[in-house]
Amino acid sequence: MQSQHVVIIGAGFGGLNAAKALANQPGFSVTIIDKTNHHLFQPLLYQVATAALSPGDIAMPIREIFRKDKNIKTLMAMVKTINRSEKVVVLDDNQEIPYDYLIVASGARHSYFGQNQWETFAPGLKTLDDALQVREMILTSFELAEKLAEETADKSLIESLLTFVVIGAGPTGVEMAGAIAEIAHQSLKRNFRAIDPGKTKVYLIEGSDQVLNSYPRKLADYAVRDLEKKRVTVLLNTRVTDVNAEGVAIGKEFIHAHNIIWAAGNEASTLLKTLDVPCDKSGRVIVQPDLSLVDDPAVFVIGDAAFYRENERALPAIAPVALQEGRFVGNIICKKIPADKRPVFHYKDRGMMANIGKFDALVLSGPLQSTGFFAWLAWCFVHIYFLIGFRNKLLVFTQWVFYFFRGQRNVRLIVRPVKEKMQN
Amino acid sequence: MQSQHVVIIGAGFGGLNAAKALANQPGFSVTIIDKTNHHLFQPLLYQVATAALSPGDIAMPIREIFRKDKNIKTLMAMVKTINRSEKVVVLDDNQEIPYDYLIVASGARHSYFGQNQWETFAPGLKTLDDALQVREMILTSFELAEKLAEETADKSLIESLLTFVVIGAGPTGVEMAGAIAEIAHQSLKRNFRAIDPGKTKVYLIEGSDQVLNSYPRKLADYAVRDLEKKRVTVLLNTRVTDVNAEGVAIGKEFIHAHNIIWAAGNEASTLLKTLDVPCDKSGRVIVQPDLSLVDDPAVFVIGDAAFYRENERALPAIAPVALQEGRFVGNIICKKIPADKRPVFHYKDRGMMANIGKFDALVLSGPLQSTGFFAWLAWCFVHIYFLIGFRNKLLVFTQWVFYFFRGQRNVRLIVRPVKEKMQN
C-alpha cells in the first residue's frame, strides 16, 4: 500500500502538534510548509519586543524539532493557493505539492479594520521580525530624544518621542503597555543625562468597557489598577479614529505620539479565501465538529485560522486551543477514521493566564481566580514548561532571573538604526 | 574651574576603556558617540553569524555600562566630520559638539581592495547587522536547496547553494570556515530529507602562503590540518580575481558558490580623512608615541583606526591593543599631562588565541605555544572573562555547553526571509 501524504501549512502550535501526532507513523509521510524556518513561542513574543528576551530564546528551527522523525519533511516556502479539486497546494513559485490530507494551520495577522494605511505607523506583533521592529522603534525613540534634547528648544517633539500608545487591551496590549512602562521607569533608570525616561507617557486604548475581554470583570479591574500603578493611562470605551505619523486621534482629541503599537484585532490569513468555503467576519473558516471542511473530509482547518463554536461560545484564538486541535486532527488522520465515524472536537479548557508585569499575573482556571505573586509564579512555570527544548527553557529561566529580580532588559539592541527617523 | 569636555568617537574596546578611565573623575565630562547603541564583543561575532549565540549575548547597551557614571553621556549618532580648528565634532544632522580633548576610536570596515562591487556578493563581518545577514544567507541556502531538490533536475544549482567560500584566512576567516563546516556536517545532521548537508563544500582562500599570518608557521600548519579534517579545502597562495553572483574566480578557475564571505582586509573609517593628517596605506592615522596627532596633542587616535609601530612592528588590529590604548589615553587626559611630558605607549603583549572549532584552539603567549583541548579551555575562559556583564557571561557559558558538547546551534533563525533569493 502506498503511503498517504499529509501536508501541513503552518508550524505554529496547531501545525506542530498535528505533525507530532503523525511522527514516525507507518503509512504516512508529512510535509510541513512554513513561511519562516522556525516554530515561534508567540505567548512570549512581547518580551522580545520589549528587550527582555532574544529571538533565539523563544524560537526553534522546525526541522530541528523533527530531526528524528524521518517521515516528516520541512519546507520553507509561501503557499499561494490551495487547489482542492486537484488536491494540490501551490507555492508562490508555482511548485505544486499534492496531498491526501491537508491541515491548514496558517494562523492570523493583525487586522486594521479596513484602515490598512495605519499599519505603517502602528506595527503589530505576530512574527519575530515584527517584534524586532517594535523593539528598535521603542529604543530608537529614547536615543533620539536624548540626542535632540540639547539641540532643540521644541519640547513637544521630545514629548512625542517619549509617548507610547498601545491600541487594543487584549493580553498582548496589556502585556506590552505594562512592559513599556517598566522599561521607561525601571530598566532605563540612570541611563540618560538630557532626558528623564521617568516622564514617559504610556496609553492603553480599548474600544470596549473592559481590558482583557475574555476575563471576569474582577480580574480585569485588578489589571487596570495594576497598570495605573505603573503610570499607564488606560482609556476604556475609546475608539481610535485615525492613526498617522503624528499620533493617534480619538474622536476630537489627539495624542501626539512617536510610538504606536497595534494590538487590536486579528484576521485570518488570506490564503483561506482560496479554499472557497464559508468564513466568519474575520475570515476564519467555519469548520465541522471534526474540524474538517463541510464538503471535504480530507481538509482540516485549525488554530487561529478556524472558527469553531462549542457550548454557544466560539473558541478563543489562543495557543492551548490550537495545540489541542492539532493533536486531535493528527490522531484522526493517523487512525484513518472515515468521515462519518469521527469524534467531535472538545476543548479541554484548563484556563487562561496573563502577565501584567513583575511578580504579578492573572490566572483563571475553572472556578479558581488568582492574582499577584503566586499567579505570577504559575505563569512563569507554565510558560517555561511549554517552551520547546531544554536549552530554551534554561535560557529563558536565566534571563528572567536578571529581568524580574534586577530589572535588567539587556537585549536592548538597535541592530539596524532607523536612518530616516534619526534624520528627523 | 570649568570642567574639560572629552569626546570619544566609537564605543569598541578602545573607546570603552578610555571612557572607563575618565568615569567619575572630577573636572571631566565625557560624551561617547557611536553609530549603534551597544558595545559589541567582536571576537565572538562569528558565533552570531554561525547561529551559536544570539546578538544580545555579546552586546551591551553603552549607556547601561555607564549608568552609574554621571559624568558620562552617550549619544547614538553618526559623526560626519571633525573640525580641529574649531575643536568641534560635526554630526550628520550638522549638530556640533565642542571638545577639549578628542579620542577617535572609530575602528575599521572591510576593504575590498578597490573592488567595492564585490561587497554585494561577499559580505564581511564587523557589526551585528553584518553577522545577522551572513547567518540568514547561510541558513537560507540550505532551505532553498532542500526546496529546489525536488523541483529541478539542475544539480549544479543545488551544488552552488551548498558551496561556501571564505576569502581571507586571518582569525575571522579560519573561525568562519571551521564553523560553517561544523554546521553542515554536525549541527544540520538529520535535518534534511531531499539534500545531504554532508556534501557541503567549504573553501578557505588565502593570498599568502600561510593561514593566520601573525602566528608561527607550526601553529598555522596545525590549523590547516585541523580545517582539512573538517573537510575544509584550504587554498594558499591563491588570489581572488573576481567575485560575482555566480561565485569566485581564482585566476582561470571558477568556484560556483552561492555563499561568499569576505574576511580579507580592513580599512580604517573614512571619517579619519577629515583629520587631515598622515595615514598609512589602509587609511589608519600614524600616531605619536603618546597616541596623539603630530601637531595636535588634544586629539588621540586609538585601536583599529591608529597605526603605531613598536619594536619595528606595527601593532595588530586586535582587541587587547585597543583596550590598552584606550586606558593609556584616558589616563593621560585624566592626569592632565602636558604634551612634552607624556609617557610612551607600550603594548603589553599577553599573546593571541584563535578558536578552530570544538575542543580545539591555538594559543600563543610569549614562548608558550599550545594547541588542542587545553588551549580551547583557555580560549573559552579568556573570552568569557572579558565579556561585559555577568548575565552575558552566564548566557554564553550556558549556550557553549549545548553548542560544544551537543553540537546544537539553535539560533538558526531566518527572521527576514530573503525573498529575492527564495524566488530564484
Reported as a single tens digit per residue, the pLDDT across B268-310 is 988 999 999 999 999 999 999 999 999 999 999 999 999 999 9
Cβ of B414 within 8 Å of Cβ of A389? The answer is no
pLDDT digits (tens, 9 = 90+) for A147-190: 999 887 789 999 999 999 999 999 999 999 999 999 999 899 89
Span B116-264+352-422 CATH architecture: 3-Layer(bba) Sandwich (3.50)
Span A297-312, average pLDDT: 96
Helix, strand or coil for residue A234? Answer: strand
Q: Are A63 and A86 in contact (CB under 8 A)?
A: no
**Chain A, 341-380: which have a CB under 8 Å from a chain B CB?**
none
Catalytic residue among B136, B175, B182, B206: B175
Span B166-176, average pLDDT: 95
Nearest to B64 among A57, A129, A412 (CB): A412
Cα–Cα distances (Å) from B423 to A155, A295, B132, in that order, read 48, 34, 21
**Chain A, 145-164: which have a CB under 8 Å from a chain B CB?**
146-147, 151
Residue A419, pLDDT score = 46
Q: Are A275 and A285 in contact (CB under 8 A)?
A: yes
Residue A422, pLDDT score = 38
- CA–CA gap between residue B230 and residue A179 (Å, rounded): 46
- CA–CA gap between residue A144 and residue B77 (Å, rounded): 9
- Please give the single-letter amino acid code of residue B399: Q
Asked whether the CA dihedral B234, B235, B237, B238 is positive or negative, the reply is: negative
The count of CB pairs under 8 A between chains A and B is: 159
How confident is residue A2, by pLDDT bands cut at 50, 70 and 90?
A: confident
How confident is residue A417, by pLDDT bands cut at 50, 70 and 90?
A: low
> How many angstroms away from the CA of B224 is the closest CA of chain A?
31
Residue A423, pLDDT score = 36
Q: Is the pLDDT reported for residue B419 higher than 50?
A: no
Lowest mean pLDDT among A213-227, B102-116, B141-155: B141-155
Residue B403, pLDDT score = 82
Q: Is the pLDDT reported for residue A246 higher than 50?
A: yes
Just list the catalytic residues of A: 175
Residue B417, pLDDT score = 64
ipTM for the complex?
A: 0.91
Helix, strand or coil for residue A246? Answer: coil
Beta strands in A338-392 (DSSP E): 352-355, 361-365, 368-372
Average pLDDT, chain B: 93
Nearest to B64 among A61, A74, A410 (CB): A410
* Domain boundaries A4-35+77-109+267-341, CATH class: alpha beta
Q: What is the pTM of this model?
A: 0.93
How confident is residue B423, by pLDDT bands cut at 50, 70 and 90?
A: very low
Q: What is the longest distance spanned by two Cα atoms in chain A?
A: 79
Cβ of B151 within 8 Å of Cβ of A192? The answer is no
Residue B229, pLDDT score = 95
Residue B384, pLDDT score = 94
Q: Is the pLDDT reported for residue B420 higher than 60?
A: no
Does residue B55 belong to the interface with chain A, where contact is any CB pair within 8 Å?
Answer: yes
Q: Are A376 and A360 in contact (CB under 8 A)?
A: yes
Which fold, B4-35+77-110+266-341?
A: FAD/NAD(P)-binding domain (3.50.50)
Average pLDDT, chain A: 93
DSSP state of B251: T
Q: Which residue has the higher pLDDT, B420 or B103?
A: B103
Q: Residue B398: exposed, middle, or buried by beta-carbon count in 10 A (0-12, 13-18, 19+)?
A: middle
Nearest to B132 among A59, A63, A415 (CB): A415
- CA–CA gap between residue A227 and residue A206 (Å, rounded): 14
- CA–CA gap between residue B76 and residue B11 (Å, rounded): 10
- Annotated catalytic, B143? no
The yes-or-no answer to whether A4-35+77-109+267-341 and A116-264+352-422 have a common fold is: yes
- Please give the single-letter amino acid code of residue A197: P
pLDDT digits (tens, 9 = 90+) for A352-380: 999 988 889 999 998 899 999 999 999 99
Q: Is the pLDDT reported for residue B182 higher than 80?
A: yes
Domain ranges, ordered by start, for chain B: 4-35+77-110+266-341, 116-264+352-422
Q: Is the pLDDT reported for residue B8 higher than 60?
A: yes
Give A53's Cβ-side CA count (13 Å radius).
28
**Chain A residues within 8 A of B88 when measuring between CB atoms:** none
**Chain A residues within 8 A of B56 when measuring between CB atoms:** 54, 410-411, 413
Nearest to A391 among B78, B391, B410 (CB): B410
How confident is residue B154, by pLDDT bands cut at 50, 70 and 90?
A: confident
Residue A1, pLDDT score = 59
Helix, strand or coil for residue B162? Answer: coil
> How many angstroms away from the CA of A130 is the closest CA of chain B?
9
Grid cell in block for residue A162: 517619549
How confident is residue B424, by pLDDT bands cut at 50, 70 and 90?
A: very low
Q: Are A324 and A330 in contact (CB under 8 A)?
A: no
Span B170-189, average pLDDT: 93
**Chain A residues within 8 A of B129 when measuring between CB atoms:** 415-416
